Amino acid sequence: MKKLKLVCLLLTASMIGSCFVACTGSEDKEETSATTIPSQIETQPTETEEQLDYVYGETFHSDVPVTYTMFFSDASWYAMQDSWLTDGIFKDIEDITNVHLDIKSYDSSDYMNNITLDINAGEAAYIIPKIYDDSAFVDGGAIVPISKYVQYMPNFVDFYNTYNMQEDLLTITRSDGNYYKLPGMYDSTMPDYSLLVRKDLFDAAGVDIEAIEKDYTWEDLCDALVKVKAYMVSEGMCSESDYIWSDLWCGNESGQGNGGNLLKLMGNSYDVNAGWAIGDGMRYDQEKDEFYFSPTTDKYKEFLKVAHKFVAEGILDPETFTQDDSTATNKFFNGQTAIISVNKSQYANFVSNLDTNLGAGNYEVYYAVAPRGLTNYSPAGAGRLECGVMISQKALDELGEEGFIKMLRFVDWLFYSKEAYTLCKWGVEGKTYQVNADGSKSLLPGMCCSGLGYANDEEGSMTDIRLEWGYAGGNFWYGHTMEEASDHFIPPVAAFVEHVGEYRDAVPLSPGLAPTEDQTEELNLIATPLIDNVNTWTLSFVTGKEDIDAKWDEYVASCEGLNSSGLVDLYAEIYGK
pLDDT number for residue 146: 97
pLDDT number for residue 550: 98
Residue 460's pLDDT band, with cuts at 50, 70 and 90, is confident
What percentage of the chain carries pLDDT values higher than 70?
Answer: 92
Q: Name residues whose C-beta falls within 8 Å of residue 320's C-beta, 6 or more positions apart in sequence.
A: 245, 246, 247, 250, 251, 262, 328
Pick the more confident residue, 575 or 101: 101
Give the model confidence (pLDDT) of 525-565 as tens digits: 999 999 999 999 999 999 999 999 999 999 999 999 999 99
- Say yes or no to pLDDT of 393 above 90: yes
pLDDT number for residue 302: 98
242 shares a domain with 138? no
Give the model confidence (pLDDT) of 180-193 as tens digits: 999 999 998 877 89
387 shares a domain with 354? no
49 is a domain residue = yes
Look at the chain and report how many structural domains it folds into: 2
Mean local confidence (pLDDT), 297-317 = 98
pLDDT number for residue 509: 80
Mean local confidence (pLDDT), 248-268 = 93
pLDDT number for residue 19: 36
Residue 31's pLDDT band, with cuts at 50, 70 and 90, is very low
Task: State how far the Cα of 416 lies from the Cα of 477, in Å rounded to an integer.
Answer: 10
267 shares a domain with 336? yes
63 is a domain residue = yes
183 shares a domain with 42? yes
- Say yes or no to pLDDT of 93 above 80: yes
Each residue of 466-498: b (16+ CB within 10 Å) or e? bbbbbbbbbbbbbbbbbebbbbbbeebbbebbe
Alpha-carbon dihedral angle through residues 199, 204, 207, 213, given to the nearest 10 degrees: 10
- Say yes or no to pLDDT of 16 above 80: no
260 is a domain residue = yes
7 is a domain residue = no
CATH code: domain of residue 85: 3.40.190.10
Closest CA to 560 of 281, 274, 257: 281
157 shares a domain with 43? yes
576 is a domain residue = no
51 shares a domain with 179? yes
pLDDT number for residue 46: 66
182 shares a domain with 56? yes
pLDDT number for residue 514: 79
359 shares a domain with 217? yes
Give the model confidence (pLDDT) of 356-371 as tens digits: 999 999 999 999 999 9
236 is a domain residue = yes
535 is a domain residue = no
Residue 47's pLDDT band, with cuts at 50, 70 and 90, is low
pLDDT number for residue 477: 78
Instruction: Give the range among 17-31, 214-228, 418-432 with minimum mean pLDDT.
Output: 17-31
Pick the more confident residue, 110 or 220: 220
pLDDT number for residue 70: 98
Strand 441-443 to strand 433-435: parallel, antiparallel, or no bridges (unpaired)? antiparallel
Mean local confidence (pLDDT), 323-349 = 94
pLDDT number for residue 188: 83
207 shares a domain with 322? yes
pLDDT number for residue 52: 54
pLDDT number for residue 24: 32
243 shares a domain with 155? no
What percentage of the chain carries pLDDT values higher than 90?
Answer: 71
180 shares a domain with 199? no
Mean local confidence (pLDDT), 379-383 = 75
Task: State how far the Cα of 68 lies from the Cα of 410, in Å rounded to an integer.
Answer: 10
Domain final residue, candidates 391, 409, 425: 425
Count the neighbouring beta carbons within 10 Å of the beta carbon of residue 229.
Answer: 24
323 is a domain residue = yes
- Say yes or no to pLDDT of 374 above 50: yes
The residue range of the domain holding 277 is 194-368
Alpha carbon 133 to its chain centroid, in Å, reads: 12
Give the model confidence (pLDDT) of 153-175 as tens digits: 999 999 999 999 998 998 889 88
Q: What is the mean pLDDT of the chain?
A: 90
163 shares a domain with 41? yes
